Amino acid sequence: MAIHEQQREKEVATIKELLRAFPDFPQKGIVFQDIFPIFQDPAAVKLLITHFERYCEEHLSKVDVVVGLDARGFLLGPMLACQLGAAFVPVRKQGKLPGPCISAQYTKEYGTDHFDMQLGAIQPNQNVIILDDLIATGGSASAAAELVKQSGGNILSFLFIIELITLDGAKQLPAPVYSMLQF
Ligand SMILES: O=P(O)(O)OC[C@H]1O[C@H](OP(=O)(O)OP(=O)(O)O)[C@H](O)[C@@H]1O
Ligand SMILES: Nc1ncnc2[nH]cnc12
């Protein structure tokens, strides 16, 4: 196995070890994957950001904008954006952003919601990545993609820590998906 691949697998194992699963949260039948233990370990947070940074540098053109999804995408988005020398743009749940916004409704694993993005936050033809902690049905990421496309942004890739592969959410997304680990 190449040294690079060994390193990648070590990083994945470190993060996997820190995750915690909560059955029947927030609803019966959902196994909730909790990423917050990662944030009790600063070395693990650095590892995670470096892991995503390396993916971007090795596989993507220059990233202009990192879009993070409310709320857990905000934990990683600004840190990754700083490392990449990119802007950070938040996609927020409806009614939280001031000024003119564009909106999209979506359905996720446990309910429906609306996302907003501030008008003009992304310029036409900017290269964008969309980052979140987890993809389940893909409803949230897909709605964020709609907002990026309405703004004229060019989506290079979607990045997640966790992909729930049984729900097959990645297949509806309009750009390549990188997930660090899969359940
Ligand atoms: O692929 P999907 O089925 O759309 O589900 C994934 C989304 O669900 C969770 O967010 P949630 O809406 O629970 O918000 P939170 O980050 O505020 O907890 C998660 O952080 C993703 O954004
Ligand atoms: N199973 C799950 N765990 C954590 N966040 C989620 N968002 C959607 N499904 C989820």
Quick: pLDDT tens for 9-52. 999 999 999 999 999 999 999 999 999 999 999 999 999 999 99
| Structure token pair of residue 13 | 């194992």
For 54, residues 6+ apart whose C-beta sits below 8 A from its C-beta are: none
The residue that leads in pLDDT, 109 or 80, is 80
Nearest Cα to 76, choosing from 96, 93, 90?
Answer: 90
Nearest Cα to 16, choosing from 30, 34, 42, 4?
Answer: 34
Nearest Cα to 158, choosing from 48, 63, 41?
Answer: 63
Nearest Cα to 77, choosing from 132, 8, 2, 149?
Answer: 132
How many whole angstroms from 9 Cα to the centroid of ligand 2?
23
Quote the ipTM score: 0.98
How many whole angstroms from 7 Cα to the centroid of ligand 2?
27
How many whole angstroms from 125 Cα to the centroid of ligand 2?
31
Arithmetic mean of pLDDT, 153-160: 98
What letter represents residue 97's amino acid? L
For 57, residues 6+ apart whose C-beta sits below 8 A from its C-beta are: none
Say whether pLDDT at 2 is over 80.
no
Q: Are 87 and 96 in contact (CB under 8 A)?
A: no
Tell me, rounded to whole angstroms, the distance of Cα 71 from its chain centroid: 10
Nearest Cα to 35, choosing from 172, 135, 145, 141?
Answer: 135
> Does residue 72 carry a catalytic annotation?
yes
Q: Are 139 and 105 in contact (CB under 8 A)?
A: no
> What secondary structure letter does DSSP report for 172?
G
Site to probe by mutation for ligand 2, drawn from 19, 22, 24, 30 as the one with most ligand atoms within 8 Å of Cβ, is 30
Task: Give φ, ψ of 106 to 5 degrees.
Answer: -155, 165
CATH class of 3-182: alpha beta
β 20-23/31-34 pair status:
antiparallel
Closest-CA residue, ligand 2 atom 1, reads 32
Say whether pLDDT at 110 is over 90.
no
Quick: pLDDT tens for 71-85. 999 999 999 999 999
- Locate the domains of the chain by residue range: 3-182
pTM: 0.97
